[in-house]
Structure 1
Amino acid sequence: MPPTKQGSVLMGFNKNVAKFSTKTMAAAAKGGIVTFVHNNNYTKDQLGECFERNSEGMLKNMAIHELALLVTFYGVTTDTIAEVVADKEYSSCQTLVGPSSGKEFTDFDKLKFTIKTKEGKQVSVAADRCGGDDSVGIVTDETTGKETFRYSMPDEEDLANIPGLEKRCPGAMPYFYVQDPDYATLKERIAKNCFDGTPAEGVATIDVAVETLKVAEYLTPLLQKQLLG
């Protein structure tokens, strides 16, 4: 990945610099297939409101951070994708009524898929609106499918910081407390880049963001068709 030049438009995809993702990719450099898992802590009865408020859809909302990882580090673009396969046993696509508008919204509440690129790279993404409040990086052996590495966000260090953050900033969504250290890293790298041109390692640029949105728009109908027929 080329270094970020001073003056580039930089984006706030914090998972590009998060411990769980960077450590997972480092482990996979020795061999293995990566799966990025993203969980939110909605309850089933909140999904209608969730679908309505995030009507752009899961891939342009919740899982956009994982897609940014794929674009930044795996060379995934609409032109390089060779194959996309949904995990039908894991995934779920529903049409629910939004409580405010009374309109129907079709979206994924759970989704897992694997992308293979024309260059032979393979990476998977899993997202679950009702799966909890963490993100996980997993590496599996390419031959046996056995898990060889796992790292979660928050880790023990992050968990220890949460009570203090809750006291300082009460009422925030839980994921802001969980991801606070990664947002701090992101802001530090962007600030240094603006100040003296230090390369903002791993930070997504506006070009990455645009391509990420294109990938999300490309994948959404394709995966819905695989799941709904």
Structure 2
Amino acid sequence: MSQTDEERKAKSKEYESRPEVKAKRKEYESRPEVKAKRKEYHSKPEVKAKQKVYHSRPEVKAKEKVYHSRPEVKAKTKLYSQRPENKAKMKKYYQSPEFKAYQKKYRLRPEVKARDTERRQRPENKEYMKKYHDVWDSKPENKKKRRQYDKDLRLKICSVYSKRHSNSDIPCCRCCGENTDIRFLAVDHIDGRKNLPKGQKNLDGDHLISWLKQNNCPEGYQILCHNCNSAKGHSKNNKCPHEK
């Protein structure tokens, strides 16, 4: 008597679920030559294209969503991601130049930027992020991390503009050359704040530093000490008295 498709599938599933069969398959798939062969196959352009088409099907997306929402799958995924060797592997991958370049290129796509903006503007997401940041910022260890991050970022931005305008390897005032302490320095709008585009006029302090980083240190800014910056701001010709 011939078997039906359902019977064959059930028998195959029962066989594949046996511990000895699982162990044998795991041992086989962990061999270096098998891994290399699989990696080579999946890196082929035609295979990538085929997989992309398959995974973009609505029914496949729905099926994968149901699968990944199962409690046992979530628990298994969490357990896997918490293993030290997997954490180290993912950290190395996320810090690789290839991944960073891909992420940068991906985020610059118009459809991705539009989707991210729309998602951030949702009321529920705004509320969630506000609560998350309030909790994160309230922890002493995170406050310390944030202060150090802001300090390092400010040093980096000041170094970039000092090298660009003063050819200096350390942050310095473009006008008088002050370089004894970065706390004496500030980012200055070369043409004056009033001539800036509307979105940049209200940027100052850490917000300005972050904006400069996100926009790859654009032209129109320089590093001045607080004395030169203040004198330039109060002058009628937008110049420091040192320039006379």
TM-score normalised by the shorter chain: which range applies? under 0.3
TM-score when normalising by structure 2 = 0.19
If asked which structure has higher relative contact order (CA below 8 Å, sep 6+), I would say 1
More helix, by proportion: 2
* Greater radius of gyration (CA): 2
More strand, by proportion: 1
